[in-house]
Chain A
Amino acid sequence: MPRMSRRSRSLRRIKKKLPGGSTKLVYAKRQPGTTKCSICHIELKGIPRMRPFEARNMAKTKKRPERAYGGFLCANCLREKLKQEARQS
Chain B
Amino acid sequence: MFEIGRVCMKIAGRDAGKKCLVIDVVDEHFVMIDGQTRRRKCNIKHLEPINQAVQINKNAPAPEVARVLNEIGILVEEKKQKVKSEKKAKTARPKRARKKKELPVKEKVKEKTKIIKSETKTKKLDKNKPEEKVEEKA
A interface residue numbers (CB < 8 A to B):
66-68, 75, 78-79, 82-83, 85-87, 89
- What are 6 A-B pairs with beta-carbon distances under 8 A? A66-B14, A68-B16, A75-B12, A78-B16, A79-B16, A82-B48
Q: Which residues of B contact A82 (CB under 8 A)?
A: 9, 11, 16-17, 48
Whether A83 pairs with B11 at a CB distance below 8 angstroms is yes
Whether B17 pairs with A68 at a CB distance below 8 angstroms is yes
Whether A83 pairs with B13 at a CB distance below 8 angstroms is no
B interface residue numbers (CB < 8 A to A):
8-9, 11-14, 16-17, 48-51
Q: Give Cα A87 to B49, complex, Å.
A: 8
* CB < 8 Å neighbour of B11 from A66, A79, A89: A79
Q: Give Cα A67 to B17, complex, Å.
A: 9
Q: Which residues of A contact B51 (CB under 8 A)?
A: 89
Q: Which residues of A contact B48 (CB under 8 A)?
A: 82-83, 86-87
Q: Which residues of B contact A66 (CB under 8 A)?
A: 14
* Nearest-CB residue, chain B, relative to A78: B16
Q: Give Cα A82 to B11, complex, Å.
A: 6
With A82-B11, A86-B48 given, name 20 new contacts (CB 8 A): A66-B14, A67-B14, A67-B16, A68-B17, A78-B11, A79-B12, A79-B16, A82-B9, A82-B16, A82-B17, A82-B48, A83-B11, A83-B48, A85-B9, A86-B8, A86-B11, A86-B49, A86-B50, A87-B48, A89-B50
